[in-house]
Structure 1
Amino acid sequence: MFRRICLLSVAIACTGAPLQAGKVEGYAATVQPLATRAALDAMADGGNAIDAAVAAALTLGVVDGHNSGIGGGCFLLIHLKDGRNICIDGREIAPLAATRDMYVRDGKLDESLSKTGPLASGVPGAVAAYSYAIKEFGRLPWEKAFTAGIRCADEGFPIDLVYARKLKATAPELALFPASKAIFLKPDGSPYLEGETLRQKDLAKSYRELAAQGAEWFYARPFPQATQTYMKEAGGILTANDFATYRIKLREPLVTSYHGWQIVGFPPPSSGGVHVAQMLNILENFNPADVKPGTPEFVNRLTEVMKLAFADRAYWLGDPGFVHVPRGLFDKAYAKELSTRVSPGKVTPVPDHGTPPDWQNNYFEKHTTHFVTADAEGNWVSCTATINTAFGSKVVIPGTGILMNNEMDDFSIAPGVPNHFKLIGGEANAIAPGKRPLSSMSPTIVEKDGQVVMAVGAAGGPTIITQTLLALLYTLDYNMTPADALALPRFHHQWSPDQLRMEKSTSPDLVKQLKTLGYEIELIEPFGGTQLIRKTSDGRLTGASDPRVPGLAAPTR
């Protein structure tokens, strides 16, 4: 049983009045009740699902700041009530001074430099994405989105179990940077504990200025200069010009089908959309009724499919503005060919990537949190936001309270060198100035007969892809409720290392049977954080927040 902390009473105190009884007007699910509350309040104030999503994102940047924030990036997948699907790419980009060998010292690669410190950060894109979303598709003024975040930063909020655990784990690195130490650690250098109040006065001030002045404050005015000054002194390479030249990308949604549902995902530089679609296409060649969740047959089938997809990911995926990413990766015929390599009851070696059709010519156009919102008018948002690993680069820009990402570690910093998540990348994901690093973020929307029936996505590095896949299969193929689908023990295989990772709550008998088949299994602590909203057959909205995090899924009333 996963521990769930209900902070609803705290959320009410921090962000507004209790939910009002009456007609359901919308729904939100996030990893933190305070952020869910902010989303619901936005819709109660007359906003739509887009306003709600941005309010949730900005609140998460305060109360779940170890996972995401305005010092990071995001992928926003929006379904508008008029039927359009919009992909807003707010992914970070490499600084213009970035080079392939920027982490080499005295002829040797120093892997720590891409994970911690001033050289680890790309140019943040979250603010630009949220600003564009509000301006183009929201109903409320930009400054309204900051209300809950400012209050929680100014007055403080009680640290939850997950926040406290990650704070303890990263305290030694946070202590290396004075501005970070002053915020996240006590005067004696010890981390704050679960239930203790964390206040972020500098971040509240930055939020007020950003709310009043708009995204220009972040990209053209004081913040870029403050960042450049710090980076120059600390050995970083980010400059004010990097911020001034940042632009979001509007991407073409990646659309495929699965057993009559239309699956809408995010295209590269998300690898998630491509490989969720690819794995669903492979699985479409099998009858889901032949295997049941929780059985060795089910895990065997999915693990073999995961291996094939992640082998392709390692070789083919990168920023489509810099490398050719074949659209054939989610071609149905290619999936059928790959399905022949999946043999029931067998562990099949996958020595290398596959070769999708027309790979020479047909390309895509040149720590993390997930949240979903939906409103009564038919607007839906599935958004994944990140600063990468816990507390990102561990660097707070002095005087701003803004914690910077460490997304440079999502590049292939050297051939054959795994990143923090043990992912191997190829030439397609090598560092280049202005390039977006490859991401596993997988915001997904499911449609049936032209109507959205579900929004889903996850947090947790490369497991985002397999979490999203499992949530889709459990709900679509096996008709599980959102809560039941998210509660099942998870498993993950990413091709390299050749290891099946399973949560410790997995049945010992199941583990034993899989070992007998030949899998090397690592039992790990519960992982990930999936959020899901689904429309029932009678038109109601329901949903769930992952029981592994202290989240909240709730309707407006």
Structure 2
Amino acid sequence: MNKHYICYKITFVAAILCFGIGCTQGELGQNISGEYHNGVVVCAYPDAAKAGLEILKKGGNAVDAAVAVQFALAVTLPEAGNIGGGGFMVYRDAQGNTNTLDFREKAPQGASTNMYLDSAGNVIPDMSLYTHQASGIPGSVDGMIEAHKKYGRLKWAELVQPAIDLANNGFKITAHLANDLNSNHDVFIKANPGKNYLLKETDWKEGDLLIQKDLGNTLELIRDKERDGFYSGAVADKVVAEMQKGGGLITKADLQNYHAIWRKPITGKYKEYKIITMPPPSSGGIALVQLLKSVENYPLQRWGHNSDSTVQLVTEAERRVYADRSKYLGDPDFYDVPVDSLLDSAYIIKRMNSFSWSAATPSTSIQPGVFVGHESDQTTHYSIVDHHGNAVSITTTLNDSFGSKIFVAGAGFLLNNEMDDFSSKPGVPNMFGLVGGKANSIQPGKRMLSSMTPTIVEKNGKLFMVVGTPGGATIITSVFQTILNVVEFDKSMQQAVAAKRFHHQWLPDQIYVEKDALDTLTVADLEEKGYKIVVRGPIGRVDGILKTKWGYYQAGADPRGDDTAMGW
């Protein structure tokens, strides 16, 4: 994924269904009516969607399908799908019970607060991005194992096998993937002397067969030995050897001591809807609920989608929420995140009372809020629903497109560069332009802050929507706007994910907009009020599933990428 998406946080909306424009329909998912009663998978690559649908058709549940999709994406979507990264899962079973799984990467024990600063205290360029020291301890494999152990139904080996087959036998690449591989050709050579992964003597083209034998061997060890196939033994030895070769920090002890954590979901209300989303160390859940509460009492439906009033209100809400994010959010195992204070309705309303309809609020005048009693101090997504109504929303990441660009020699997978998601120095932005402070400082064993926002929505106590996206700093606002597109602007799931988006994140003080997202009159009105409008490339790749009032599933696969929906 390009730098604008850098988090490719995979929304495992194992929503296996195809509906409307932008959905790719494989032979398993053909359904002219667009109505799916038995299950749906929506993810970032067609072969991975097919793998998930096959698991559902074999009697697997949403978590089984998610495991299959996750490993298949590690093969077919190397820029973001991964076993060398981490992510988050939001789960809701058919009875309404919910849970979240944090398999975010962690800082190695050898990490330190000032590890990316030079002797003068300045951040060393690219050290947290494109070196062996940029990698946190991977969590994806342990996350899938823990999810399967708690909720899975089919045998583990059966779920990993589709990815092994894709790696060993190869798969035909899309035009998007061919372009990504070609554009990174020289980078791969420079970052991986003596290695020959994802390289070809001539340019890659659509339809070429991509075979990854070393990755297939690694997946076979994970299939046969589960956790021990990755966090100890031959694969762990190769990871440590790679670290030692490049001056990295991850040790055998780091790998063996890594464990995913089950956490209590963040929940909130928006009108008749219940939002179930990810708690810290994801900032996404708190920020999403704050945003929804910030706009709840305004007549968005009357104003209309991407109207001047809607854009202004949403921008002012985003400005304040991202300011709070910069100070108060981090790993709750290391920092006391003031969750209740941030989600307090009175606090949120008070924050919104400070803006004027007549002029933009300069971000320099907005600081993180103050609460009584608080101390100062490429990503991809997939969504899945199964025959029984169990739902999974998963976002995973390597951070940048292709992570650190560094492969583990002999193991065939890419290392993440998630250490850049820590605050290397208070007030200094990361690659996404996000700033942070003490709450997100680097500490050994700590999980870095994330914007990933896998989310499930209920309506009147019943499953309503499964949604998520990659996109780095834009993840939160993309999920927020997609939900509004459905509940306020009456769009179908496919229309909601395809709709043009915009984004504001406090700093820098500008509204990023996709081309043609706003009409010229709206732009002129906003600029007259002092808003700076910056046109940029695609924002996010949302994958979502909507349960209609008639009881069938409607899928939305983002047309900005190779995202695919399959169902039956």
What is the TM-score when the length of structure 2 is the normalising length?
0.91
SS at match of 2:445: coil
Aligned to 1:478: 489
In the aligned structure 2, how far is the partner of 1:524 from the partner of 1:296? 19
Per-residue deviation, 1:6:
7.4
1:324 is matched with which residue?
336
Is the alpha carbon distance of 1:172 and 1:417 closer, same or farther for their aligned partners in structure 2, counting shifts above 3 Å?
farther
The offset of 1:121, in angstroms, is 0.4
Aligned partners of 1:143, 1:204: CA distance in 2, in Å? 13
**1:251 equivalent among 258, 263, 274:** 263
Q: Which amino acid aligns with 1:46?
A: G
Q: Cα distance, 1:27 vs. partner?
A: 0.8
Say which of 262, 265, 272 aligns to 1:260.
272
Residues 482-501 of structure 1 mapped to structure 2, 5 A cutoff: 482-501=493-512
Q: Give yes or no for the alignment of 1:395 onto 2:400.
A: no
The answer to whether the 8 Å contact 1:219/1:243 transfers is yes
Aligned match of 2:157 in 130, 143, 148?
143
Does the 8 A contact of 2:538 with 2:560 survive in 1? yes
Residue 531 in 1 paired to residue 539 in 2? no
Instruction: Name the residue aligned to 2:228.
Output: 216
Q: Highest relative contact order (Cα 8 Å, sep 6+), 1 or 2?
A: 2
Supply the distance in 2 between the matched residues of 1:234 and 1:277 (Cα, whole angstroms): 41
Aligned position for 2:63: 50
The one-character-per-residue Cα deviations of 1:502-544 (angstroms, maximum 9, x if unpaired) are 0113233432332222111111112211011010001111111
User: What is the 5 A alignment of 1:371-520?
Assistant: 371-506=382-517, 507-520=519-532
Q: Against the structure 1 CA distance between its residues 180 and 37, is the aligned structure 2 distance closer, same or farther, given a 3 Å change threshold?
A: farther
Amino acid at match of 1:517: K
Which residue in the other structure is 2:349 paired with? Answer: 336
Q: CA 1:23–1:473 in structure 2 vs 1: closer, same or farther (change >3 Å)?
A: closer
Give the counterpart letter for 2:524 in structure 1.
Answer: K
Task: State the alpha-carbon separation in 2 of the partners of residues 114 and 237 from structure 1.
Answer: 12
Verify the 8 A CA contact 1:179 1:395 in the aligned structure 2.
no
RMSD of Structure 2 on Structure 1 (CA): 2.1
- Match of 2:41, SS? strand
Tell me the residue number matched to 2:305.
293
Contact between 2:36 and 2:567, CA under 8 Å: does it hold in 1? no
Distance, in Å, in 1 between the alignment partners of 2:109 and 2:324 is: 29
Q: CA deviation at 1:332?
A: 1.1
2:14 corresponds to which residue?
Answer: none
Taking the aligned partners of 1:288 and 1:200, their CA distance within structure 2 comes to: 49
Deviates more, 1:21-30 or 1:111-120: 21-30
Q: Deviations over 1:293-323 (max 9, x none)?
A: 1211111111111101001111111111111
Which of the residues 65, 75, 78 maps onto 1:65? 78
CA distance in 1 between counterparts of 2:23 and 2:453 reads 27
Q: Which residue of 2 is the match for residue 348 of structure 1?
A: 361
Cα deviation, 1:234-272, whole Å, max 9, x if unaligned, reads 111111110011011111100100011111110000000
Separation in 2, partners of 1:359, 1:73: 34
User: Paired residue for 2:296, among 246, 265, 284?
Assistant: 284
Q: Which residue of 1 aligns with 2:170?
A: 156
Q: Secondary structure at the match of 2:457?
A: strand
Residues 106/74 of structure 1: CA separation in 2 closer, same or farther (3 Å cut):
same
Conserved in 2, the CA contact under 8 Å of 1:388 and 1:405? yes
Q: Structure 2: how far apart are the matches of 1:77 and 1:200? A: 30
Task: Determine whether 1:126 maps to 2:140.
Answer: yes
Contact 1:160 1:194 (8 Å CA) reproduced: yes
Secondary structure of the 1:418 match is: coil
Percent of aligned positions that are identical? 36
Structure 2 residue matching 1:75: 3-state secondary structure:
strand
Deviations 1:173-210 (A, max 9, x none): 321233795111224xx653343222111101111111
Provide the secondary structure at the position in 2 that maps to 1:244: helix
2:114 aligned partner: 101
**Contact between 1:533 and 1:541, CA under 8 Å: does it hold in 2?**
yes
Count of equivalent residues: 541
SS at match of 1:182: coil
Task: Work out the CA distance in 1 between the residues paired with 2:168 and 2:388.
Answer: 34
Question: Counterpart of 2:8?
Answer: none
Unaligned runs of 5+ in 1: none
Are the counterparts in 2 of residues 297 and 345 from structure 1 also a CA contact under 8 Å?
no
1:315 and 1:353 in contact (8 A); partners too: no
Provide the rounded CA distance (Å) in 1 between the counterparts of 2:118 and 2:371: 41
On the 8 A contact 1:180/1:394 being kept in 2, the answer is: no
Deviation at 1:359, TM superposition (A): 5.2
- Partners of 2:22 and 2:175 lie apart in 1 by 8
CA pair 514-165 structure 1, distance change in 2 beyond 3 A: farther
Once the two structures are TM-superposed, the CA of residue 405 in structure 1 deviates from its matched residue by 0.6
Alpha-carbon contact 2:161-2:223 (below 8 Å) kept: no
Q: Is the 8 A contact 1:48 1:139 kept in 2?
A: yes
What corresponds to 2:11 in structure 1? none
Tell me the alpha carbon deviations over residues 413-446 of structure 1, each in whole angstroms, 9 at most, x when there is no partner. Answer: 1122211111111121111100100000001111
Q: Give 2:97's match in structure 1, choosing from 84, 88, 96.
A: 84
* In structure 2, C-alpha distance between the alignment counterparts of 1:468 and 1:7, rounded to whole Å: 21
Structure 1 204/8 Cα, relative in aligned 2: closer, same or farther at 3 Å? farther
More displaced 10-residue stretch of structure 1: 338-347 or 244-253: 338-347
Measured after TM superposition, the shift of residue 109 of structure 1 is 2.6
1:328-361 deviation per Cα after TM superposition (whole angstroms, max 9, x unaligned): 1111111111221233343112334333544528
- In structure 2, how many angstroms separate the alpha carbons of the residues matched to 1:545 and 1:209? 32
Residue 114 to residue 191, structure 1, CA distance change in 2 (3 Å): farther
SS state at 1:250 partner: strand
Aligned residue for 1:39, secondary structure, equals helix
Moved more, 386-395 or 140-149: 140-149
In structure 2, C-alpha distance between the alignment counterparts of 1:474 and 1:252, rounded to whole Å: 27
After superposition, the C-alpha distances for 1:3-54 in whole angstroms (9 at most, x for unaligned) are x887655xx6xxxx67699973111111111111111111001101111111
Partners of 1:356 and 1:283 in 2: CA distance: 20
Q: Is 1:549 the counterpart of 2:561 in the alignment?
A: yes
Distance 1:179 1:126 in 2: 26
Give the secondary-structure state (helix, strand or coil) at the position aligned to 1:112.
Answer: coil
Alpha-carbon shift at residue 65 of structure 1 (Å): 1.5
Q: Would you say the 8 A contact 1:53–1:373 is kept in 2?
A: yes
Amino acid at match of 2:114: D
- C-alpha displacement at 1:137, in angstroms? 0.3
Question: Which residue of 2 is the match for residue 186 of structure 1?
Answer: 200
CA deviations on 1:462-509 (whole Å, 9 max, x unpaired) are: 100000000111111122101111121110000111111001132334
Distance in structure 2 (CA, Å) of the matches to 1:277 and 1:180: 48
Q: Secondary structure at the match of 2:320?
A: helix
Q: Which amino acid aligns with 2:117?
A: V
SS in 2 for 1:383: strand
